[in-house]
Amino acid sequence: MTPVIRTIWIYLVLGSASVYAIGPSHEAELRSDRDHEPHAHGTPGAVHAAGEHSPDTRGHADHEREHSHRNRQASEHDAEEQGRGHDKQRKDDGHGDGHSDEHGHPEAEPAEVHLTPDQLKTLDIRTVRIEPRAMAEALRAPGEVLLNAYASAQVAPRIIAQITERHARLGEHVEVSQPMVTLSSVQMAEAQGNLVVAQREWLRVRKLGRKVVSESRYLEAQIGRQQARARALAFGMTPSQVEELLRSGAAKADGTFALLAPQAGTVIADNFVLGEVIEAGRTLFEITDESVRWVEAHTAPEDAARVSVGDLARVSTGTVWLDGTVTQIHHQLDETTRTQAIRVEIPDPDHRLHPGVFVDVEVYTGKAPVLALPEAAVLRGPDGDWRVFVAGHEAGSYEPAQVRLVRTTGGLAVIEGLTPGTEVVIHGTFFLQSELAKGGLDIHQH
């Protein structure tokens, strides 16, 4: 390599290294220093080589500065958006003011409804100052309609007999001592014959008197007549039938006799056919007074302990409620259900209840003071809680008040959560609720 070429190569290497090492900020100073250096052979070529790199280096630096500026702007924008997000989240979490913004979010329900005097009159808004009232607690339990055993009776023979004639039918109303069925029995024939014989013997001895017959003969005739009479009565004859037999004599001692109705009522069972021979004690008729029914409600023992004889009760058949009274509380639990029965007596002159029907029973126990309103005055709010409307501070204004519904009974709602003396809307509550949901009425509307 010649000295001239070596010199040019060294200048090229040194010039290139200086450009990249010094950087664009000192490019002008480097260029000025090179302009003052003495020129040698090949020096212009070295300077030209360095000058070729300078424009690219300046462009690269400008690009880096612009890119850094854009990054700072993007970071500031992201931080601002993140701050807005935190503010929105704080409001959504309940830490903000809770007011709707101007971008179409729904507003909160108005605090009250305002009505003009004309609207109050048109809508018939009525209020009452709620005060504690004595109201019995309603104990509800399933029940079953039963026969009133104290107003029911069975017709059954006391000896083996054959049915010869029927005098009453199922569903028929009968009166006391009305003939129900005629029976025929060999045992009754013997008893009737013995009674006729004993009666005649007694009449003969009594006519002779104590002066003629001995004392023992007199007593024997008297006791024989009484025993024969008692046997006929025990076999099923009535005193009037016995007297009729004694007047008729042997002609009536054929073993026939009639069973009579022991009470007035309706025939609800007559399970037999004519000509059937029946055993002693078999029920031929069942008669009951349907004007008063029994209903037995089955409750837990702890609930039955709150009930007393004489408490008011009512029974529902699904369509109508019938009033009654608690007449008895059982002292023994049901072995299967482990429940305690409460007997309720229900007057039923229209025969709406029938034995075996299941019903709903309500027994009213105790009389504790409670706050009660008509059921229509208590409504569900948008959040699912129960509420009523109370009078506001201004005339014609009404605002919702949250309450707790304890129970409903007899068309009344027992509530908690209001101060006694509060003026509460009892008519027109549904309209106020509707208007509150729509944003309230315009107070100037007529």
Please report, for the chain, the start and end positions of each structural domain, with discontinuous segments joined by +: 3-81, 113-132+369-438, 139-148+289-367, 159-279
CA distance from start to end of the chain: 113
Q: Which residue has the tokens 């004392």?
A: 215
- Tens digits of per-residue pLDDT, 157-167? 999 999 999 99
Residues in the chain: 446
Tokens for 264?
A: 């007035």
Q: What is the pLDDT of residue 73?
A: 53
Residue 105 has pLDDT above 80, yes or no: no
The two domains 113-132+369-438 and 139-148+289-367 share their CATH topology (first three levels equal): no
Domain 139-148+289-367 falls in which CATH fold?
A: Elongation Factor Tu (Ef-tu); domain 3 (2.40.30)
Percent of the chain with pLDDT over 90: 54
- Tens digits of per-residue pLDDT, 304-313? 998 999 999 9
| Residue type at 327 in one-letter notation | T
Q: What is the pLDDT of residue 234?
A: 96
Q: Which residue has the tokens 């003026």?
A: 423
CA distance 380 to 367: 28
Residue 281 CA to chain centroid, in angstroms? Answer: 47
Q: Which residue has the tokens 């229900």?
A: 346
Cβ atoms of 268 and 286 within 8 Å: the answer is: yes
3-state secondary structure (DSSP) of residue 399: strand
Q: What is the band of 130 on the pLDDT scale with cuts at 50, 70, 90?
A: very high
Q: What is the pLDDT of residue 28?
A: 43
Q: What is the pLDDT of residue 366?
A: 75
Give the residue with greater pLDDT, 20 vs 179.
179
- Tens digits of per-residue pLDDT, 295-341? 999 999 999 998 999 999 999 987 788 999 999 999 999 989 999 99
3-state secondary structure (DSSP) of residue 320: coil
Q: What is the band of 294 on the pLDDT scale with cuts at 50, 70, 90?
A: very high
Q: What is the band of 87 on the pLDDT scale with cuts at 50, 70, 90?
A: very low
Residue 184 has pLDDT above 60, yes or no: yes
- What is the CATH number assigned to the segment(s) 113-132+369-438? 2.40.420.20
| Mean predicted lDDT score pLDDT of the chain | 80
Q: Which of 133-142, 194-203, 229-238, 382-391 has the lowest mean pLDDT?
A: 133-142
Going by their DSSP bridges, the two strands 173-174 and 340-347 should be labelled as unpaired
Residue 44 has pLDDT above 50, yes or no: no
